[in-house]
Chains A and B, each alone.
Chain A
Amino acid sequence: MNTFLFYLFSAAALLSAYFVVTVHNLFRAAMGLIGVLLSIAGLYLLVDAQFLSAVQIMVYVGGIVVLIVYVVLLVADVAQKQVHHAATWRKAVAGFLAAALFTLLAVAAHSHDFGVAQVPARSASVTEIGTALLSPERNGYVLPFEVISLVLVAAIVGAITIARGAGSDKKEAK
């Protein structure tokens, strides 16, 4: 059953990924991206990573894809009536890089002995995730957590500054 679901999700992920990179319409590509991300969330569920799966859906599908859709709708020429073909040398370089990455990954995956997991998979509880995030102990992630918070705050401040624009303070003063 799990094996069947694994192949189902993998096939869905690969197909929608192919759809994303080949389709010309940006909005359709975004919809394909939902398929990719949901299939990967399904794969996470198969290995009992429920929290990761939920976060994947929440952050990537509910956040990132929505943002992409907004950007596409506001900025780009969505339908892309005239298709721009890349120059031949670009295609060649891209093809070479893709092949190189593929061989690298294939060799890495093949040479490493993954073995069978000794401990049965289980989903971490909220308590464990919470303590792991905020614990200053050896297994804690408090420093990355704080750094990410700082980066986010900086991003928010930056976004507000850009959105207000120069001189909007003066207008408000009037």
Chain B
Amino acid sequence: MRDFLYHTDRFVLDLTQRLTDAIGIPWVVELIKMAAAAVLLVGLASVLGMVLIWIERKVAAHMQQRLGPMRVGPHGLLQTVADTLKLLAKEDITPKNADIIIYYLAPLITFAASFVCLSFLPYAPGMQAVRFNVGLLFVLGISSLGVLGILAAGWSSNNKWSMLGAMRGGAQIISYELSAALALLTAVIFTGSLDFHDIVESQREGWWIWRAPVVGLLGFVIYTIASTAECNRTPFDIVEGESELAAGFHTEYSAMKFAMFFLAEFVNIFIVSGVSATIFLGGWMPFHIGGMDGLNHVFDLIPPWVWFFGKVMALVFVVMWFRWTFPRLRVDQLMHFEWKFLMPVSFATVAVAAVLATGGWYFFSATPAAPVPQVAPKHENAKPTASGAHGERTWGTFRVQAVSFPNV
């Protein structure tokens, strides 16, 4: 039980051991683990959809001195369930002149792109479905697939508002992706790794938001702004812009196809908040200050996954708060803001972060987090060289914790 709460990595290892003892065939065990992770992630995605939509409505209502959904279940908790049932029962309308294949494919692309990213996040020690040593890069790459879903939806609907919304959305997401990636780079420079697990482990002495002086906070703020734009949330929701474009790229979508877009949006909010929490706020790492062991032990009493979901939910709340605080930006303002303000600032942040990291001018930099430059290993006979920087390292195959792909 203790393992289940605090040492989830041990819990997973223990479970694997028991499974191996019971079954004895390694690839069957791997298959079971993969299936378990897949089921858990699907469950997480659907629960997230339900809960986040409910939270969004409640937050919106309370910000406007209303109560929000109250009728179905206690405090309207079951409202989303009822809405989902309603969406399932609704007529699925396809426009007459729509391009059928792409019209059906678009919600799938959008949802799949955001769903895949869920598997990269570390929820607790050992609770990470896929561990790549370039996990962060993967999340950035795959989430950019979402643009294609939006463009496909807008074009295939054969509706000028959808098309306009999609074009705007594409331009916006491509532009803000740059700032988001650069902001994440500030923390990556300090950790010297793109592996989510390593990034979390590197924050044992403290979270990067305060350990990296000023640049950590700046990076965090820039990422929050840019990622809000990437999710097409207000104040950056010109993709949907109700007053101008009907409902933007998903005007022509109804029933469950619409629900897929909706679900993808909420999963996206969770993912960007999760990435932000992992990179800048330590992920599942409790609040630690290097050296102050007494304090650290007090914070360790809270289980890691509570830390992770607590941080993520706090960030999700901030994103929802934005919606009722800022008015929507105009298209030209949006582009000016990104290219003439956010981009230069993020470049400057990265430059300063690089100087601070190489100089070791940040809190608790006893061991240089930025790897000491070394001569690249010969390509023919590749030998592991980075021995000191991160302690022990596993080389090779998919570095996976909770689930690993068997290598034949």
Contact = CB atoms under 8 A, between A and B. Distances in A.
A87 B28 CA distance: 56
Which of B132, B376, B407: most chain A CB closer than 10 A?
A: B376
Given A1-B406, A2-B407, A27-B152, A123 B134 contact: yes
B130 to A, nearest CB: 10
Nearest to B408: A2
B321 interface: no
Interface stretch (B44-52, B211-219, B390-398): B390-398
Interface in B270-294: none
Given A27-B99, A34-B148, A51-B137, A127 B192 contact: yes
B377 interface: yes
Interface stretch (B63-71, B78-86, B232-240, B367-375): B367-375
Nearest to B31: A1
B385 A128 contact: yes
Nearest to B105: A31
B141 A48 contact: no
A54 B137 contact: yes
B145 interface: yes
B356 interface: no
A137 interface: yes
Which of B133, B156, B382: most chain A CB closer than 10 A?
A: B133
Contacts of B376: 128, 131-132, 135, 137, 139-140
Nearest to A67: B174
B227 to A, nearest CB: 15
Contacts of A28: 99, 101-102
Main SS at interface, chain B? loop
Interface in B115-146: 132-134, 137-138, 140-142, 144-145
Contacts of A144: none
Contacts of A54: 132, 134, 137-138, 141
Contacts of B102: 27-28, 31
Query: Which bucket holds chain A's interface residue count?
Result: 35 or more
B155 interface: yes
B96 interface: no
A66 B170 contact: yes
B142 A57 contact: yes
A40 B174 CA distance: 23
Contacts of B373: 131, 135
Contacts of B408: 1-3
Contacts of A116: none
B389 A127 contact: yes
Interface residues of B, number: 56
Nearest to A127: B371
Contacts of B377: 128, 139
Nearest to A34: B148
A73 B155 contact: yes
B402 interface: no
Contacts of A140: 376
B133 A123 contact: yes
Interface in B289-315: none
Given A1-B408, A27-B99, A139 B378 contact: yes
A70 B384 CA distance: 43
Contacts of A143: none
Nearest to B132: A50
Nearest to B373: A131
A88 interface: no
A127 B395 contact: no
Contacts of A27: 99, 102, 152, 155-156
Contacts of B174: 66
B184 interface: no
B147 A62 contact: yes
B379 A139 contact: yes
Given A31-B102, A34-B148, A54-B141, A126 B133 contact: yes
A149 interface: no
B58 to A, nearest CB: 34
Contact of B396 (A31, A48, A126): A48
A22 interface: no
Contacts of A12: none
A143 to B, nearest CB: 14
A165 interface: no
9 contacts: A50-B138, A51-B137, A57-B138, A58-B141, A62-B141, A122-B397, A131-B374, A131-B376, A132-B376
Given A1-B30, A27-B152, A61-B145, 12 more contacts: A1-B27, A27-B102, A48-B396, A66-B170, A69-B155, A70-B151, A121-B397, A125-B386, A127-B389, A131-B373, A131-B374, A137-B376
Interface of A: 1-3, 25, 27-28, 31, 34, 45, 48, 50-51, 53-55, 57-58, 61-63, 65-66, 69-70, 73, 78, 118-128, 131-132, 135, 137, 139-140
Interface of B: 27, 30, 99, 101-102, 105, 109, 132-134, 137-138, 140-142, 144-145, 147-148, 151-152, 155-156, 163, 167, 170, 174, 177, 188, 192-194, 371, 373-379, 381-382, 384-386, 389, 393, 395-399, 405-408
User: Closest 4 interchain pairs by CB?
Assistant: A62-B144, A58-B141, A57-B141, A122-B396
